Chains A and B, each alone.
Chain A
Amino acid sequence: MDILIYGTINSIALALMALGFALVYGISRVPNFAHGAIYVLSGFITWTLLNSFGVPYALSILITMVLIGILGAVLYQFVLIRVRGMAISEIIASYAIGLAILEGLRWGGFKGMSYTLPVFIEGSVIVVGIPVDYQRMVVVGLGILIVVVLWAFTHFTRIGLALRGMAQDERAALMLGIDSDIMALVSMAIGAMLAGLAGAVLLPLGNIVVESGYNVLILAIAVCIVGGLGSWVGAVLAAFLIGFAQILTVVYLGSHYQMVVALLAIILTLILRPSGLFGMQKELEERV
């Protein structure tokens, strides 16, 4: 029962980390390697607002979301737009930006154990005999909420439909009067905000450390590759797959192997079924 409950929580946490990456790649085909950096950055911005400026917690999370969204848009508008379509340059540019953010934070003194965000609600609740703290319940609730909201957003709003149109066929979308650059900009902003939101909910569970930026990036990529790049349903399913696999390895092998699971998942997926569980691309053209 332990495994089931903590596996579910871990899976939803993974899905939260990965959704932003999956969304940006699915819509604008830009692999945002700065994803992990944005996740950590949002944690530190919230911390700074909370502790140095004394802004109330809920408000500081809100401000962080807005700032992070703007950051995503700025990154796209001034950097990534110029290299769009060149896979190598996209990877190098976004990875270098992520590196600059993370190492800049480290240089700026944001390291050590002293950076923690308070949990939203103190205390814990007993779920079928196992104590689960409220923060983890918030993670589960918010994870489900985000998936539902995203689904509704992409099916019922104008921008959401345009985004989906671009994800399916960029040229056809262009012909129908959808500005692909603006849509990519929007997707990048939303993706960054999702990363920031994931940071805001998940970071209170532990310390904010710069290294987690790299881990989040790896996990997000692992989830997206196993699920099939560009497929959100696949990403959610893959999050459950990897989430449970991780919990099982932690229980039976030890916590050192958590990251190894992610890499093995990537390698096995790429060898056995390169387009992932729900990949939308043709295998030969895109990957192999």
Chain B
Amino acid sequence: MGNGNTEQRRRERLDRGIKVRSDGLYALMSWRELAYLIVPRLVLIVGLLVLPLVMPGAYWQRVITIVCIYALLALSFDFLAHYLGLVCLGGAFFVGVGGYIAAMFNSSLSLPPLLTVPVATILGAVICTLLLLPCLPLRGVYFAIVTLMYPLVLARIIEALDIFGGTDGIMGVDSFANQWLEQYAVISLVLLFLFGTRRLVNVDLGLVFRAVKDNDQAVRASGMNISFYKAIAVFVASAMGCLGGACLVHIYMWAGISLFALDFSILPIAATVIGGAGTLVGPVLGCIILVPISELLREFGTLRIVFYSLILVGFVVFRSEGLMVYGERKYHQFQRWVKV
């Protein structure tokens, strides 16, 4: 680049005209602009809803369900990490708490799954928030370290005290009424939470969240209690995680210490990084890509953890923007070379 006699060029990116026109209320005036806004969203919604119908066989339909559960976890990670600045390395903690609560309500009080899942979601989120409350003033590395510890230690406590079924876990949890109910329940939940969190981060509350991420001292100086807002966000995120855990328990009909396993912490993070951090759609997309690959690699055992750890490193280090950010840029902008 340094030699002077060749002309230097740089890439210039410009918003497409249609993007600019459909930014405002005028988008309502024309079908073209409306379609520009709606089609990507429709592709995702319709795609997810059709997915179970086109899957060959029950095995791959089950994979779709697992994809959705991981998508919930990834959403929760993305929301906390990129809108609150709290990097939670212990997604398994939420899964475990939600899962165990659902399993206990189901096996000891014999409540039906349609009741235990909401109960586990709310109760689990309350418990997770209360347990994480002392750590909320922390940030960055410190929060990450503490959340990494939680699932490990909770699993050890269950092992040591031999409570909640100890190492055997809780067997004989009811499954959902039928497979279609199960699939469409988790798919619609993912869509609900996806568009819900997208909305949430753009309303007033979400603005405060993002302000906490960018400069928490400024938020504090404005007379707002940071820990209170962080607690709300952790509640929302852990509700998503607990929901995923509760559904998982009813799908596998079993709750055990493996709910605290590393899979539930690392795969959502990998999916978020690959899909595009901070976009909320990206993590879902990342799960749709990663989970089936991970299923295909199941016969290699722990090699799949190696595999997606390496993908993760590659993306974090070399392509940190992720697929969704790249896709959005291509959709909204065009680029050309201009002379400097």
B302 CB contact (under 8 Å) in A103, A260, A286: A103
Quick one: which of A200-226 are within 8 Å of B by CB?
Answer: 214, 218, 221, 225
- Across the two chains, which residue of chain B brings its CB closest to A284? B217
Give the docked Cα–Cα distance between A256 and B153 (Å): 10
- Could you say which residues of chain A place their CB within 8 Å of the CB of B211? none
Q: Does B317 contact A (CB under 8 A)?
A: yes
- Could you say which residues of chain B place their CB within 8 Å of the CB of A87? 87, 140-141
Q: Does A121 contact B (CB under 8 A)?
A: no
Interface of B is mostly: helix
Quick one: which of A218-262 are within 8 Å of B by CB?
Answer: 218, 221, 225, 229, 254, 256-257, 259-260, 262
Give the docked Cα–Cα distance between A91 and B157 (Å): 26
Q: Does B62 contact A (CB under 8 A)?
A: no
Shortest C-beta distance, A256 to chain B (Å), equals: 3
User: B149 contacts A218, CB within 8 Å?
Assistant: yes
Interface size (B, Cβ < 8 Å)? 43
- Could you say which residues of chain B place their CB within 8 Å of the CB of A89? 316-317, 320
Q: Does A140 contact B (CB under 8 A)?
A: no
- Contacts A218-B152, A257-B160; is A91 near B89 (CB within 8 Å)? yes
A267 CB contact (under 8 Å) in B87, B134, B160, B318: B134
Shortest C-beta distance, A227 to chain B (Å), equals: 14
Shortest C-beta distance, B26 to chain A (Å), equals: 38
- Contacts A104-B306, A254-B160, A274-B137; is A92 near B273 (CB within 8 Å)? yes
User: B310 contacts A96, CB within 8 Å?
Assistant: yes
Q: Mark A271-288, 1 if CB is under 8 A from B, else 0.
A: 100100000000010111
Q: Mark B127-171, 1 if CB is under 8 A from A, else 0.
A: 000000011011111101110111011001101100000000000
- Could you say which residues of chain A place their CB within 8 Å of the CB of B270? 96
Quick one: which of B46-89 are within 8 Å of A by CB?
Answer: 81, 87, 89
Give the docked Cα–Cα distance between A266 and B146 (Å): 7
Q: Does A146 contact B (CB under 8 A)?
A: no
Give the docked Cα–Cα distance between A129 and B48 (Å): 71
Give the docked Cα–Cα distance between A266 and B317 (Å): 29
Q: Does B20 contact A (CB under 8 A)?
A: no
User: A106 contacts B316, CB within 8 Å?
Assistant: no
A92 CB contact (under 8 Å) in B159, B217, B316: B316
Interface size (A, Cβ < 8 Å)? 40
Q: Does A107 contact B (CB under 8 A)?
A: yes
User: A83 contacts B317, CB within 8 Å?
Assistant: yes
- Could you say which residues of chain B place their CB within 8 Å of the CB of A256? 156, 159-160
Shortest C-beta distance, A5 to chain B (Å), equals: 26
User: B316 contacts A93, CB within 8 Å?
Assistant: yes
User: B306 contacts A100, CB within 8 Å?
Assistant: yes
Give the docked Cα–Cα distance between A147 and B24 (Å): 65
User: A96 contacts B160, CB within 8 Å?
Assistant: no
Q: Does B269 contact A (CB under 8 A)?
A: yes
- Could you say which residues of chain A place their CB within 8 Å of the CB of B149? 218, 262-263, 266-267
- Across the two chains, which residue of chain B brings its CB closest to A264? B153
B305 CB contact (under 8 Å) in A103, A263, A286: A103
User: A91 contacts B144, CB within 8 Å?
Assistant: yes
Q: Mark B312-340, 1 if CB is under 8 A from A, else 0.
A: 11001110100000000000000000000
User: B317 contacts A260, CB within 8 Å?
Assistant: no
Give the docked Cα–Cα distance between A93 and B315 (Å): 9
User: A107 contacts B302, CB within 8 Å?
Assistant: yes
User: B146 contacts A100, CB within 8 Å?
Assistant: no
Shortest C-beta distance, B18 to chain A (Å), equals: 34
Q: Does A88 contact B (CB under 8 A)?
A: yes
Shortest C-beta distance, A217 to chain B (Å), equals: 9
User: B313 contacts A260, CB within 8 Å?
Assistant: no
User: B313 contacts A97, CB within 8 Å?
Assistant: yes
Q: Does A270 contact B (CB under 8 A)?
A: yes
Give the docked Cα–Cα distance between A79 and B310 (Å): 11
B312 CB contact (under 8 Å) in A96, A263, A274, A288: A96
Q: Does A82 contact B (CB under 8 A)?
A: yes
Give the docked Cα–Cα distance between A113 and B115 (Å): 45
Q: Does B301 contact A (CB under 8 A)?
A: yes
- Could you say which residues of chain A place their CB within 8 Å of the CB of B313? 79, 93, 96-97, 100
Q: Does A31 contact B (CB under 8 A)?
A: yes
Shortest C-beta distance, B200 to chain A (Å), equals: 21
Q: Does B239 contact A (CB under 8 A)?
A: no
User: B156 contacts A88, CB within 8 Å?
Assistant: no
Shortest C-beta distance, B182 to chain A (Å), equals: 30
Q: Does A95 contact B (CB under 8 A)?
A: yes
- Could you say which residues of chain A place their CB within 8 Å of the CB of B224? none
Task: List residues of A whose CB falls within 8 A of some B CB.
Answer: 31, 79, 82-83, 87-89, 91-93, 95-97, 99-100, 103-104, 106-107, 214, 218, 221, 225, 229, 254, 256-257, 259-260, 262-263, 266-267, 270-271, 274, 284, 286-288
List 24 A-B pairs, Cβ < 8 Å.
A88-B81, A88-B144, A89-B320, A91-B87, A92-B273, A93-B316, A93-B317, A95-B89, A96-B316, A99-B262, A99-B306, A100-B309, A107-B301, A107-B302, A256-B156, A256-B159, A256-B160, A257-B160, A259-B156, A260-B153, A266-B146, A266-B149, A288-B137, A288-B138
